[in-house]
Amino acid sequence: MISLVIRSKQTEGDAMLYTRLKIDGKSKWINLHLPVDIKKWREVSTSQKKLTNYLDKMGYSKKIADIEFAIKDLRLRACMSEEAINNAVQNAVLVEKRERIKKQDDLKRYIHNKQSKSVKTWVKGYIAKVKSGSARTYQGERYTKNSIKIWRQFLRIFLDFCEMTDDFSWDDINQSLINEYMTFLEDEGYSKSTSDRYINCFKTLISIAERENIHTNHKALGMFRHSAVKEHEKTTAIYLTKEELDGLYNMELVGLEEKVRDVFLIACYTGQRYSDFSQITPSCFDTIFDGNMVIRKVQAKTKTPVVIPILDNRLKTILEKYNYTVPEIADQVMNRYIKRIGKNLSMTVTSLGQDVKTILTKQERIAEEDNSKTFRYDDDGNAVKYKWELISTHTGRRTCATNMYLSKKYDIREMMLVTGHKKVETFMKYIKLSLDEEAYKLAMSSDGEMF
């Protein structure tokens, strides 16, 4: 065994073990990088047995044996140098430490790779960028406040889904996982329109991640299936008839109720979303070649330019009342007040007081289970609400599309120029006619002969 000494003059604390070797004819102290307790070392170094037991206990015996073997090998190869010996010592002494560091590095790499492939981690990060504005739409625009609100809602629901499943990677997205996601949304009690919205959010994120080379699961998007809208789901979203619009326009209202009614009618006569009709200002108005007035807008959600003709004189009257600037009213306030106005109008326009089959929202079902709110049901067990209860700011857009369709004055292309829809199938979803109403429309079109 090589000789082992400590070179410290201290009586307590730790000191490194050294050995003395002749290198190039000169005696050199070689630091073995093995710390020992000075007091304990002085005690055990008086006996070879005690020294051996101590070195075994410290885990140094094998390291020292490896150092000795390395030194003999260097001598045999005539490679004895201070640098070579120090390297040999470090290789023998630090091998375990290096293995430990390697394992830690491997673990860090594993965790990093797992996190980089984790759908949940990427989705959280991306939606955080949506909120901050560093992530933008495909057109390079910042996401609107309403879009950010939807993404935040999606994230909350998506994280709830992830809690019920193992943390999955992009490669794990298959038909089984997508079916689990759809089942989760159904079991949570979300309506079909709400479920479709969050399914589309998931699809959009998969597409964005694929475009950014985050994953190569090119089959994922093709695994989503679109289910047809059922009749009871279609009738849940209402529109106001011409008679109901006439009654609303002629109501004697003052103050905020008058403003809410007028802004809602602007939506009904322009067919725009809240984010668009609420931002109409004098700069939006123009005249075309024949002198007729139009509203020019670039829609906030889709960035689609629209040119909306003033097709109803009542729209012009309302706009003139406010100097062609739409009164500023928050959509939550509008939704609350327009229902109250509709309820009062139902006293004279009785169709607004008719029962409409609907689907209770998740929050409404929870409220009913807690006995904090009760709802009405028809003889078939369908939840029903008065028509006025279903009026919202978006009812105006549906009302415009449906009444233009029923008037038979315009073709699909002309109606889509007003609403800004790019696809016929998307536009037709806004035509809120039940099967009975569709049958009635067909019957009224007939002159007694089918062909």
pLDDT one-digit tens code per residue, 157-198: 999 999 888 778 998 999 999 999 998 998 887 877 788 889
Q: What are the tokens at 287?
A: 């005249």
101 in a domain, yes or no?
no
Looking at the structure of the chain, the number of domains it has is 3
Q: Is the pLDDT at 443 greater than 70, yes or no?
A: no
Give the domain CATH number at 298: 1.10.443.10
Are the CB atoms for 388 and 343 separated by under 8 Å? yes
Domain boundary residue, one of 45, 60, 93: 93
C-alpha to C-alpha distance for 248 and 231, rounded to whole angstroms: 28
Band the pLDDT of 436: cuts 50, 70, 90: low
- Indicate if 142 and 64 belong to the same structural domain: no
pTM greater than 0.85: no
Domain span at 212: 117-227
Looking at the domain assignment, is residue 264 inside a domain? yes
Helix H or strand E segment including 35: strand 26-37
What pLDDT digit, counting tens, does each position of 85-98 carry? 888 888 888 776 77
More confident residue, 231 or 20: 20
Which position has the higher pLDDT, 104 or 247? 247
Query: Is residue 31 assigned to a domain?
Result: yes
- The CA distance from 330 to 146, in Å, is 12
For residues 418-443, average pLDDT: 70
Residue 416, SS3? Answer: helix
Same domain, 135 and 20: no
According to the model, what pLDDT value does residue 451 have?
A: 44
Residue 415 lies in a domain: yes
What's the confidence (pLDDT) of residue 112? 53
Q: Is 381 exposed, middle or buried (0-12, 13-18, 19+ CB in 10 A)?
A: exposed
Whether residues 384 and 249 share a domain: the answer is yes
322 and 425 in one domain? yes
Rounded average pLDDT over 193-212: 90
- Tokens 């709400």 label which residue? 194
286, part of any domain: yes
Q: Are 395 and 341 in contact (CB under 8 A)?
A: no
Please give the mean pLDDT across all residues of the chain. Answer: 86
With a cut of 90, say whether residue 102 has pLDDT above it: no
Measured distance CA(158)–CA(185) in Å, rounded: 10
| Domain endpoint, select from 60, 93, 126 | 93
On the question of pLDDT at 146 being above 90, the answer is no
- One domain, residues 50 and 163: no
* 272 and 307 fall within a common domain: yes
Q: Are 126 and 72 members of one domain? A: no
Among residues 173, 202, 227, the one where a domain terminates is 227
283 and 393, same domain (yes or no):
yes
Q: Which residues 6+ apart lie within 8 Å of 131 measured at CB? A: 148, 151, 152
